[in-house]
Amino acid sequence: MEKRVYEVWKGRNKFVLGGRLIFGPDARSLLVTLLLIIVPVIIFCVFVARHLRHSFSPYNAGYAILVVAIVFTIYVLILLFLTSARDPGIIPRNSHPPEEFRYDSSVSTEVGGRQTPGLQFPRTKEVMVNGVNVRVKYCDTCMLYRPPRCSHCSICSNCVERFDHHCPWVGQCIGLRNYRYFFMFVSSATLLCIYVFSMSALYIKILMDDHHGTVWKAMKESPPSVILMAYCFILLWFVGGLTGFHSYLIATNQTTYENFRYRADNRINVYNRGCPSNFLEVFCTKIKPSKNNFRAFVQEEVPRHTLPSTQEAEVEDRGGDPRSKVEDDLEIGEDLKKISQRRNIEEIDEDIRSRGSNGPPHTTLEVDFVLGSDRQAPTIRSDTRHSSWGRRSGSWEIAPDVLANSTVTESRSYITPKEARQ
């Protein structure tokens, strides 16, 4: 049976409802967040808001306190759901390294008992953003060049566009497609804390007026109100601090990752377009559709020619049935190095016999020389540039919707196969 994309997904995400909902690997922490929101609100509705229903005589306005608490809580939970249950902006990973790389004969690796030339490809590239060169890196896990502001989340094992951070409280990465909902969730939770704290303090004040007592006597009358006030006060430092911090990040068009990593480098923020434009970018732009269709069926890949396996090399070395082998390599200057099909041993023997009939006999050393020289491959150059962004094989090119009107230049930082494995 054909499998869907979410069933063979290489990241650490968890899928629900047949791939319709996507969570992070720490989605269980979402239950803790739900309890931290729902339980205090239930206590507030039962022990505080219920007693305030008749405290405001005109038109029973006290019922509004209860209704607002319930509706506001539902709104916060919806924002939490939109933050944690959707694709944060995951870039589909490639199943193969970039097709364009550098063919370096000086670096060789042993494959199947035979020395083969090593491969190198640029570790970084430079992209022009608002007239400033921005360096983008190659991701060894996803086998792609990350677009600007993209980073690899080590928890989810995905490259996320406009990566902000991985939030354990929502069990999801915060990126391009859910940052707006994350900020609205944090700011709404802050307002909910302020509301519950204020109404609990109001109830303490009403108890003081009704019993003509002190604050301590009123607090003894309603211990849940005191607990809620203390809880909201502590929680307010957390969610309120996050709201203020992310308000600053939005105003300056930064992400949490950029702020902590580049703050000491004194780098120029090339994305800052002014405070009003930065807020409009976050809250008033259309959210891009997901680059992943998790419910789509997995398409079969076209088989690629690879280096000969160890078993085939052993069969050939033992004198078994010879097979023709094709080795495809690509050079960094768009040069396609194809190793031509090797002759088998019978053809070499026939060549030696034919030459032996017209000339002097050949020695064993000459036969080995023929075998060795026959393994050298001619070079075929191709000027065609292949772009495979959005396909299963890698490419130099970065998605045009991510890098509109930007130029890409190659850097000279290379990585060897040993460094890639590390």
User: Would you report the helix, strand and coil content of the chain in percent, each value rounded to 5?
Assistant: 40, 20, 40
Query: Which of these is catalytic: 167, 173, 193, 232?
Result: 167
Residues 207 and 222: beta-carbon distance below 8 Å:
yes
Beta carbons within 10 angstroms of residue 394's beta carbon: 24
The candidate with the shortest Cα–Cα distance to 102, out of 379, 304, 334, 326, is 334
Sign of CA dihedral 237, 245, 187, 152: negative
Q: Tokens 């080590």 correspond to what residue?
A: 154
Helix axes 29-47, 223-252, angle to 10 degrees: 130
**Residue 159 is among the residues annotated as catalytic for this protein:** no
| Distance, CA of 117 to CA of 107 (rounded, Å) | 6
The candidate with the shortest Cα–Cα distance to 80, out of 232, 218, 184, is 184
Residues 70 and 13: beta-carbon distance below 8 Å:
no
**What is the set of active-site residues?**
167
